[in-house]
Amino acid sequence: MIGYLKEIFSGTWSLFVGLGITIKYFFKPVVTVQYPREVLPMTPRFRGHIELTRDPETGGDKCIVCGMCQKACPSNCITVVGDKVEGAKKKALSRYILDFTKCSLCGLCVESCPADAITFSKDYNLAGPSREAYIFDLKKRLEERKG
Amino acid sequence: MSAFAQTQLKETFVINLGPQHPATHGVLRVKLVMDGEYIVEAEPVLGYIHRMHEKMGENRTWAQFMPNTGRMDYLHALAYNHGYVTVVERAAGIEVPERAEYIRVITAELNRISSHLLWFGAFVLDLGGFTPLLYAFDDREQILDLLESVTGSRLTYSYFRFGGVYNDIDENFVPGALAFIKRLRERLPMYHALVTKNVILRTRLEDIGFITPEMCRKYGATGPVARGSGINFDVRKHEPYSVYPEFNFDIPVYPKGDSMARYMVRMDEIEQSMRIVEQAIAKLPDGPVMAPKAPKILKPAKGDYYHAVETARGSFGIRVVSDGTNTPYRLKLRSPTFSNLSLFGEACQGMLLPDALALMGSLDLVIPEIDR
Amino acid sequence: MNASAIKQAMAALPAQAVAENDHAKRGNHLDVTVAPDQVVAAVTILDGNGFFIEAITGVDWLGEKAARKKEAAAKAAAAAKAAAEAAKAAGQEPPPPPPAAPAEPEGSQVDDLEVIYDFNHYETLCRVTVRTRVPRDNPAVPTISEVYAGANWHERETHDFFGINFVGHPYLVPLLLPEDADFHPLLKDYKP
Amino acid sequence: MSVHPEVIRLLIFLVGIIAFAALNAAYLVWLERKEAGHIQRRIGPKEVGPFGLLQPLADGIKLMTKQLIVPAGVDPVLFRIAPILVMIPAIMGFVTIPFSETLVARNLDIGLLAVFAFASVNVLGLLMGAWGSRNKYAVISAARVVSQNVAYEIPMLVTVVSLVMVSHTMNLTKIVGQQLGGFWHWNIFNFAASPLMPVAFLIFFVCMLAETNRAPFDMAEAESELIAGAFTEYPGMGFGVFFMAEYANIVIGCSMATILFLGGWDCPFGLYPGVHWFLLKMYFLIFTVIWIRWTYPRTTFYGLLNLSWKILIPISFVNLLLTSAMLKVF
Amino acid sequence: MTPILSPQGLAGLIFLGCVAATIAGALLATNATRLIRAVTGLALCMVGVAGIYYFLGSPFVALMQILIYAGAVCVTIIFAIMLAEPHEMKRVGKVHALAGPASILAATVLVWGLAALGTKTVWQPVACRAKNGTLEEVGQSMLTTYSMSFELISVVLLIAIIGSLALARAGRSK
Amino acid sequence: MDILALQNSLNTYLVLGALLFGFGAYGMMRNRTFIGMLISAELVLGGASINFMAFSRFLAPDPTVGQIFTLFIMGLAAAEAAIALSIIIAVYRNFKSIDTDDVAELEG
């Protein structure tokens, strides 16, 4: 009989303890980020989709069209197209196609790049109306991205 | 048909639990033969998100397979990375700098805590309590922030490389990790007061959902499921890898074998993982984080190699068969939950539906890892 | 349970080969190769010694025999060449060309599928790998799901991926692949 | 043709009650989401209107614009009749509830009985909806609803009987009238009637939770087990009506707890009694109901029956005996 | 003619509604093709009867009627249907070709006889009534004059509980 | 006839009671399942109760009697329902049918 009452009491007490915890949190400030209103900055190492880096001297890309990124990519989402430039020894990048629908953001391409020509963007607000919207030409993006 | 099934009336009906069901946490389907609310037979039906990782491995280079490993168990991705890099390093004979191993252990253990926290929340959600899930998420976010600042990703890290780690930790990481541990130490008693000691939860977990040690052995259960049945088996102690022998930690073992035992094992493991992280941070040596001589193009010697790591869900074994080329000849991924789930059919016979769901939750299923 | 005890126990099986491995290098302690009909016996020994099942899988050795033959031929040719050169250097008559590459035993033109069973022990560290080989054109192995209930799913999975027929399996239907799948993706000659 | 004032009064009250029930249901959803949000350290609805106050409206419009699908294979009559059958008793329950001394639609002498009589019909509606859905989850849910309600009606009614013994009437207005004059007169502190009165209040409250299928006794719609239980097949407003009835039942249950134990419209300090005190107490109880839901995991079936048969029923009988003994003694 | 929009008129309207509910419910209960609908009919009928009790000056009995019939008996019956006939798509039962017309005939004769008997008889209203039939009086006489039958009813209920438990358990142990 | 004042006449109730009784009798004859018969029995009881209540309201010197009788009938009906349903379930366990004819055949 004592045990029975004790059990009831301890059980009920545990319930009240639970209520006490939740009401304490009820009065604490919220911890969520109101996402579209507030935007958190991404950490420096955040791996977004890749982006061509700007060469500070020429203002263009640094790509040497070696195709290492293309080879390193596990999902075959990179296509690098280069043109032979008259006079110059190296090829110049004409198009850098990233099929973002296939990309798994693993970062192997950035690691494999011998010229540091690609880097991760910090852009995570990606939305588009169609699949085609995710086939990026990074060269074009670089040109559009001023500064 | 089990003995239980035969003693019952043949008034059974079939329920399809899933593939879309709130309690299966993914696309798992369980075909239940029920007598009223009692389960007569249960047959998990797998393969709804089967992606054939093993074949993918045969079609890409050793390094290219790395992102796949984190995508199997997205909750404890770093352990999977760890298992894969270690087996390939073993095959190729790459020495890893000590600092890299320490960083691997620290991040993997933090990841284990995050996995257990998510499990804790999801498990209580299975039992009908929603709030603990969000409290656990609050804590888990802190870990994910830490890991993101180091690895650049929040879920599928692909952080480890053959011969080290991709990037050294930044200066904020160590204070951040210590602050997080302090915070979680303060929060854990709250979890216990809110959930563990709650009389409703206790009636739902205690003495229900028994898994015997013999069943574990026959089905190959590992991890918290086995430890909840009194089996002192943890790959980190049993078959030490990386720098785990350097650390002083306990393996929580609960002999009872009910759902509560598995719950307690995981809750205690959070504390043990925090201990490991603290010790590793204290001992963290200086030095490079990448082996200097790590080859760019890997061609491990012919032969087959096996390596197992302890993930949050049990022993993840990976067998690679190399033919000496730059692609694996065969990759076998032995996922712990596959074995753990296989005993569900036997364990839940004669149970009530809500108890069976509690049992299923206590197995800590991650469906992509089962289906691979 | 140490490896040598298991080795001794396994020695009773006919037609077996047991190799002790360097655990640090290969990740297992014991490699037991048995004939397909001995699998159940070998697994029963492990069961009696308290091992738990880790996994069952297969490996497709397509082209292995051809490669080996080629290798043997190359080796023989190289040996012959070396011998000839040695003889030439010694100023002797070149020896008669060696007989054609040693004929393989009959029926061996078909490559093998290897079935690998991994076992481990809860108390003491001892990983045992049981291997068996079956011809690709008739891959049939007796099931061990009678011994280890957990083998049921692993065998179904292996059946999915390799088409290996586990004779006596209670429910050998696709587990991970679609119910009506009749292809076996991990075979090396599988083209999607 | 002159219209009798009593008729007009009844009609006004009827309209008022329906409006009150519907508005309450809508804004209790808002309260529930907001409270859950803050307990979980989030905000809850905030986009529609200030503090998300128009969210119930948006939800209502959404539910109403959904197609009313009657799935193939269901019993169409039962399927359609069940939401109504759940809603009508919920509205009827309001008829006899006195919100203040004068604010009562129909002051029945046996108002207490009326509330419980109408509340008992609720089960029938749920049962029919679940059975009519021809969904296995719904049928399991139906079986649970019945056992739960049967098991909890007993301690609830026994507690209420002991209260009726104390107050000698089943007229709700009179029951409150006896408790007027400060919180020490309330039945919950009426130790002269039975020392177990606070416990009786707890029992009543727990039974009320179980009767209204609220967490932690929401096994009828246990979403992690039975998806949505009895409501699994209901689309749009069919589901909405069930939902409204559930909240209306909570309001009735909390009102009854207020009237029976907490002195109804009485001010705790004996000053200025009025409808505001009633609403304050009732909404505090509703707040507690929601608070409980977002704190505890769900019980199981046997846990629930154990609680009822091993704890609540014995204690409520002890309370009954004590009350009658005290009545005889004093 | 009583005006509709007066308390009496409304009461009359509601009374007619109750009568309609009773008859419709009874019709449904006896003629439905599915048992579950028959129970719905029974519930409707009993709610109607409860309304009629209300008009007969006894709200207490009316509410008890709702509590017991709609809240308990109908629920129990539905429960039994669920337990016993999970696949109740078939008709209520096999009926002999003659059974329908014959039973209609028999029932009509019965109704006509009873109704005629009731309406043709000249009832003698009592001059003075000792009591008003209030709840207090009901309770008092239940515990004084009719205490024996009250006790008997409780014994019957107890036996019913034990009996049904015994019956239900007997099948389970097989 | 004042259709809105019907509730004040005894005959209305007597006819209604007779009707319910008749429905019950008809259902008893026609239905061939236990549950159907049980429902019909409840109708018969309801008809009888209406008569009791009506007489008690209009004629009896002590109007409590009818009410008490009705209450007793309700108690009996509840007990009857409980017993009948447990019988039905027991029968169903044994014969897998709640059809009276099936049970009779199996017995013979």
DSSP 8-state assignment for residue A61: B
Whether residues D223 and B22 touch (CB distance < 8 A) is answered with: yes
- Phi first, then psi, for residue B35 (nearest 5°) are -120, 100
- The answer to which of B124-138, C86-100, E19-33 has the lowest mean pLDDT is C86-100
Whether residues A8 and D311 touch (CB distance < 8 A) is answered with: yes
Report the neighbours of C using a cutoff of 3 or more CB pairs below 8 angstroms. Answer: B
DSSP 8-state assignment for residue B195: I
With the C-alpha atoms ordered A24, A28, A33, A34, is the resulting torsion angle positive or negative?
A: positive
Whether residues C175 and B55 touch (CB distance < 8 A) is answered with: no
Q: What is the distance between the alpha carbons of residues E29 and F36, in angstroms, rounded to a whole number?
A: 8
Task: Output the CA–CA distances (angstroms, integers) from residue D282 to D111, D275, D296, E145, F42, in the order listed.
Answer: 18, 10, 21, 43, 40
Q: Is the pLDDT of residue E90 over 50?
A: no
Q: What is the distance between the alpha carbons of residues B198 and D297, in angstroms, rounded to a whole number?
A: 9
The pLDDT tens digits for E149-161 are 888 888 888 888 8
- Of all residues in chain C, what percent carry a pLDDT higher than 90? 0
D101 part of contact set with chain B, CB < 8 Å: no
Q: Which of D117, D124, D139 sits opposite E75 (nearest CB)?
A: D124
Q: What is the distance between the alpha carbons of residues C134 and C114, in angstroms, rounded to a whole number?
A: 6
Domain ranges across chain C: 3-61+111-167, 63-97
Give mean pLDDT, residues E1-27: 79
> Which of F1, F9, F26 best probes binding to E when mutated, by most E CB atoms within 10 angstroms?
F26
Please give, rounded to a whole number of angstroms, the shortest distance from the CA of B342 to a CA of chain C.
6
Please give, rounded to a whole number of angstroms, the shortest distance from the CA of F62 to a CA of chain E.
6
Q: What is the distance between the alpha carbons of residues D33 and D45, in angstroms, rounded to a whole number?
A: 7
Q: Is the pLDDT of residue C102 over 60?
A: no
Q: Is the peptide bond before B19 cis (omega within 30 degrees of 0)?
A: yes
Q: Which of F11, F46, F59 sits opposite E126 (nearest CB)?
A: F59
Give mean pLDDT, residues A70-79: 84
Report the neighbours of A using a cutoff of 3 or more CB pairs below 8 angstroms. Answer: B, D
Question: Do chain E and F touch: 3 or more Cβ pairs under 8 angstroms?
Answer: yes
Q: Is the pLDDT of residue E96 over 70?
A: no
- The answer to which of A109-123, C4-18, E91-105 has the lowest mean pLDDT is E91-105
Give mean pLDDT, residues D136-160: 83
Give mean pLDDT, residues D283-295: 89
Residue C131 is which amino acid?
Answer: R
Whether residues D110 and E60 touch (CB distance < 8 A) is answered with: yes
Q: Which of D224, D227, D306 sits opposite B128 (nearest CB)?
A: D224
State the complex-level ipTM. Answer: 0.81
Measured at the alpha carbon of residue B341, what is the angle toward residues B125 and C179, in degrees to the nearest 5?
Answer: 110
Measured at the alpha carbon of residue D271, what is the angle toward residues D269 and D275, in degrees to the nearest 5?
Answer: 105
Whether residues A46 and B148 touch (CB distance < 8 A) is answered with: yes
Distance of CA C184 to the CA centre of its chain: 18
A35 part of contact set with chain D, CB < 8 Å: no
A90, two tokens: 């190296």
Identify the residue whose tokens are 């126990």: C9
- Give the other-Cβ count within 10 Å of F53's Cβ: 28
Pick the residue from chain D with its C-alpha nearest to B355.
D300
Report the neighbours of F using a cutoff of 3 or more CB pairs below 8 angstroms. Answer: E
Asked if residue F89 is part of any domain, the answer here is yes
Give mean pLDDT, residues E113-142: 76
Question: Do chain E and A touch: 3 or more Cβ pairs under 8 angstroms?
Answer: no
Question: Do chain C and F touch: 3 or more Cβ pairs under 8 angstroms?
Answer: no
Find which of A111-115, B263-267, D163-167, F8-12 is predicted with most confidence, using mean pLDDT. Answer: B263-267
Residue F108 confidence (pLDDT): 38
Chain A contacts in chain D segment 310-329 (CB below 8 A): 311
Q: Is the pLDDT of residue D17 over 50?
A: yes
Whether residues B306 and C53 touch (CB distance < 8 A) is answered with: no
Q: Is the pLDDT of residue B273 over 70?
A: yes
> Which of E8, E28, E40 best probes binding to D when mutated, by most D CB atoms within 10 angstroms?
E40
Q: Which of A11, A22, A47 sits opposite B199 (nearest CB)?
A: A11
Q: Is the pLDDT of residue B11 over 70?
A: no
DSSP 8-state assignment for residue A97: E
A24 part of contact set with chain B, CB < 8 Å: no
Q: Is the pLDDT of residue D10 over 60?
A: yes
Nearest to D267 by CA among D203, D183, D207, D169: D183
pLDDT band for position E3 (cuts 50, 70, 90): low
Q: Which residues of A touch D36 (CB under 8 A)?
A: none
Q: Which residues of E touch F64 (CB under 8 A)?
A: 131, 133, 137-138, 140-142
Residue F24 confidence (pLDDT): 85
Q: What is the distance between the alpha carbons of residues B45 and D149, in angstroms, rounded to a whole number?
A: 36
Asked if residue F9 is part of any domain, the answer here is no
Which H, E and C letters describe chain C, residue by residue? CCHHHHHHHHCCCCCEEEEECCHHHHCCCEEEEECHHHHHHHHHHHHHCCEEEEEEEEEECCCHHHHHHHHHHHHHHHHHHHHHHHHHHCCCCCCCCCCCCCCCCCCCCCCEEEEEEEEEECCCCCCEEEEEEEECCCCEEECCCCCCCCHHHHHHHHHHHHCCEEECCCCCCCCCCCCCCCCCCCCCCCCC
Q: Is the pLDDT of residue D155 over 70?
A: yes
Q: Which residues of F touch E137 (CB under 8 A)?
A: 64
Q: B3-370 — its CATH code?
A: 1.10.645.10
Residue F98 confidence (pLDDT): 58
Whether residues B125 and D295 touch (CB distance < 8 A) is answered with: no
Whether residues B315 and C54 touch (CB distance < 8 A) is answered with: yes
> Which of B304, B318, B363 best probes binding to C when mutated, by most C CB atoms within 10 angstroms?
B304
Please give, rounded to a whole number of angstroms, the shortest distance from the CA of C53 to a CA of chain B.
5
Residue D2 confidence (pLDDT): 59
Q: Is the pLDDT of residue B9 over 70?
A: no
Q: Which residues of B touch D306 (CB under 8 A)?
A: 203
Q: What is the distance between the alpha carbons of residues B297 and E83, in angstroms, rounded to a whole number?
A: 68
Question: Do chain D and B touch: 3 or more Cβ pairs under 8 angstroms?
Answer: yes
> Which of D34, D47, D295 best probes binding to A when mutated, by most A CB atoms within 10 angstroms?
D295
Asked if residue F80 is part of any domain, the answer here is yes
**Over the Cα atoms of chain B, what is R_g?**
21
Chain B contacts in chain E segment 135-164 (CB below 8 A): none
Q: C3-61+111-167 — its CATH code?
A: 3.30.460.80
Q: Is the pLDDT of residue E93 over 60?
A: no
Provide residues of B within 8 Å CB-CB of chain C.
46-47, 50, 52, 54-55, 58, 87, 90, 216-221, 226, 231-233, 238-239, 303-308, 315, 317, 319, 321, 329-330, 332, 334, 338-339, 342-343, 346, 371-372
> Which of E167, E169, E174 best probes binding to F when mutated, by most F CB atoms within 10 angstroms?
E167
Please give, rounded to a whole number of angstroms, the shortest distance from the CA of B62 to a CA of chain C.
17
Contact indicator for C52, B217 with CB cutoff of 8 Å? yes
Contacts with C122 (C-beta within 8 Å, 6 or more apart), sequence order: B217, B226, B231, B232, B233, C50, C52
Residue C94 confidence (pLDDT): 58
**Over the Cα atoms of chain D, what is R_g?**
20
Q: What is the distance between the alpha carbons of residues C10 and C27, in angstroms, rounded to a whole number?
A: 20
Nearest to B159 by CA among B79, B95, B279: B79
Asked if residue F2 is part of any domain, the answer here is no
Q: What is the distance between the alpha carbons of residues B248 and B273, in angstroms, rounded to a whole number?
A: 10
- Give the other-Cβ count within 10 Å of C189's Cβ: 10
Contact indicator for F37, F44 with CB cutoff of 8 Å? no
Q: Is the pLDDT of residue B296 over 60?
A: yes
Q: How many cross-chain Cβ pairs, B to E, lie less than 8 Å apart?
A: 3
Question: Do chain E and C touch: 3 or more Cβ pairs under 8 angstroms?
Answer: no
Q: What is the mean pLDDT of chain D?
A: 83
C167, two tokens: 């004779």
* Residue scoring higher pLDDT (D76 or C15): D76
Give mean pLDDT, residues B269-283: 89
Domain ranges across chain B: 3-370
Q: Which residues of F touch E146 (CB under 8 A)?
A: 68
Domain holding D297, by residue range, is 5-329
Please give, rounded to a whole number of angstroms, the shortest distance from the CA of B61 to a CA of chain C.
16
B214 part of contact set with chain E, CB < 8 Å: no
Pick the residue from chain A with its C-alpha nearest to D307.
A8
- Give the other-Cβ count within 10 Å of E19's Cβ: 22
Find which of B250-254, C60-64, D174-178, E143-147 is predicted with most confidence, using mean pLDDT. Answer: B250-254
Domain holding F86, by residue range, is 33-100
pLDDT band for position B3 (cuts 50, 70, 90): very low
Q: Is the peptide bond before A114 cis (omega within 30 degrees of 0)?
A: no
Give mean pLDDT, residues D52-57: 85
Residue F99 confidence (pLDDT): 59
E72, two tokens: 């308990």
- Give the other-Cβ count within 10 Å of D51's Cβ: 13
Contact indicator for F40, F31 with CB cutoff of 8 Å? yes
Asked if residue F59 is part of any domain, the answer here is yes
Q: Which residues of A touch D43 (CB under 8 A)?
A: 30, 32, 34
Total number of domains in chain D? 1
The pLDDT tens digits for F57-86 are 777 777 788 888 888 888 888 888 888 878
Question: Do chain D and C touch: 3 or more Cβ pairs under 8 angstroms?
Answer: no
Nearest to E84 by CA among E167, E1, E8: E167
Q: What is the mean pLDDT of chain B?
A: 85
Q: What is the distance between the alpha carbons of residues B175 and B156, in angstroms, rounded to a whole number?
A: 23
The pLDDT tens digits for A9-47 are 888 888 888 888 888 888 888 888 888 888 888 888 888
